[in-house]
Structure 1
C-alpha cells in the first residue's frame, strides 16, 4: 500500500501507511447480510402473488438504497482514509469527492499517547493522541496496532529532534 511519491518532499520517505482498523467494517457487513437476507426472504414470500414483480422491484430498490448507505458508503470512507507517518510529518487524508487532509510536522509534536479499551486490545487497535504546538490534542481513533504506531512515532519524533 504505497503512498503517492508526488505528495512527499525531497528526502522524505514513508515509515508507516495504514487505514483505520477493520472493526469499522463489522457493522456495515452485518447490515449487508441482514438486508440481503430480509430482502430474499420477503421476495420468496411474495413470489406466488400476482403483484410479485412490483414487489421484487420495490424490494430491490429499498435493499440497494440501504446497502449503498450503510455498507458501500462506510467501506468507501474506510478505503479512502489514510494515516501516514513519514520521516518528516504525520499525514491524515480522507474523502473521495470532498477530500480533507492534515499534516503535522515532526518538529511540532510535543507528546504522543495511546489508549485502548479491553475490546480494542483484543482487536489490536486503539486511539492515538498527538499533542502538538496547537491548542488541542489531535485524536486518531481505530488505529491498527496502536502501540506499535505509538513507538514508531515516538522514535521518529526523537530522531527529528
Structure 2
C-alpha cells in the first residue's frame, strides 16, 4: 500500500516510497511455522493415545486456539506492522511513519540533512537491503533499518539534498 498522497503538501513529489524489506518478515514466518509444527506434533501425539471423547475435544480446542494465537502473534502482527511502516523521500523531506494502533513518525526537511550514510553486511547485500543513517542539524543520527535497495536510496536522497541546497543559494551575482 503506497503512502497516502493526501498527506503530502501541495506540489510535493514522492521520490522514494517503500516499506521495510521483506526479509524483516522471514523470522516471524519461520517462528510461526515452527510453532505450528510443534502444536501439530503435540496434537498428533495426543490423538495417538486413547482418551475420553470430551478430553480429546478439549485438547483439540486448546491446540486450535494455541495455533491461532501463535499465527496471529508471530506472523499476522509483524506483517501488519510491516505493511503500516512507510519510508518516504519527497522533493522536500524524509518521512518515516510506523504503527498500527499507536502511530508515530518523523519528518526531516531536506534542508536540515547534514550527512547521509548507509550500512549493510553480507546478508543485507545479498538481499539488497541495509540501514540508512541520516544526520540532521542539531539532532542525533537517525537509523532506518531494512531499507530496500539502500545504496540507490542513499544516492537518491543525497541528490535531493544537493538539489535542495543548490536552490537555497542566492541566484543574484555578487557585486563586483
Bin the TM-score by the shorter chain.
over 0.9
Higher-Rg structure is 2
User: In structure 2, the residue corresponding to 1:34 is in which secondary structure?
Assistant: helix
Tell me the C-alpha RMSD between the 2 structures.
Answer: 1.3
Could you say which residue in structure 2 is the equivalent of 1:147? 151
Q: Matched residue of 1:84: which SS?
A: strand
TM-aligned CA deviation for residue 24 of structure 1: 0.9
Q: Distance in 1 between matches of 2:33 and 2:66?
A: 14
Q: Any stretches of 5+ residues in structure 2 without a counterpart?
A: 166-176
1:159 pairs with 2:160: no
TM alignment of 1:13-52, pairs within 5 A: 13-47=13-47, 48-50=50-52, 51-52=55-56
Query: Are the aligned partners of 2:96 and 2:107 in contact in 1 as well (CA < 8 Å)?
Result: yes
Cα drift, residue 14 of structure 1: 0.7
Q: Select between 11-20 and 32-41 the one with higher mean Cα deviation.
A: 32-41
Structure 1 residue 155: deviation in Å? 0.6
State whether residues 16 and 88 of structure 2, in contact with CA within 8 Å, keep that contact through their aligned partners in structure 1.
yes
In the alignment, which residue of structure 2 is the partner of 1:122?
126
Kept in 2: contact 1:113–1:150 (CA 8 A): yes
Q: Give the TM-score of the pair, scaled to structure 2.
A: 0.87
How many positions carry a matched residue from both structures? 161
1:41 Cα shift? 2.2
Whether the 8 Å CA contact 1:128–1:141 is kept in 2: the answer is yes
What's the secondary structure of 2:15's corresponding residue? Answer: strand
Give 1:137's aligned residue. Answer: 141
Partner of 2:116: 112
Q: After superposition, what is the alpha-carbon deviation per residue over 1:2-49, rounded to whole angstroms, capped at 9, x for unaligned?
A: 321211111101111001111111111112211222222222222243
Farther off after superposition, 137-146 or 42-51 = 42-51
Q: Does the 8 Å contact 1:93/1:100 carry over to 2?
A: yes
- The TM-score with structure 1 as length reference comes to 0.94
Task: Note if 1:58 corresponds to 2:62.
Answer: yes
Question: Do the aligned partners of 2:2 and 2:18 also contact (CA within 8 Å) in 1?
Answer: no
Corresponding residue for 2:171?
A: none
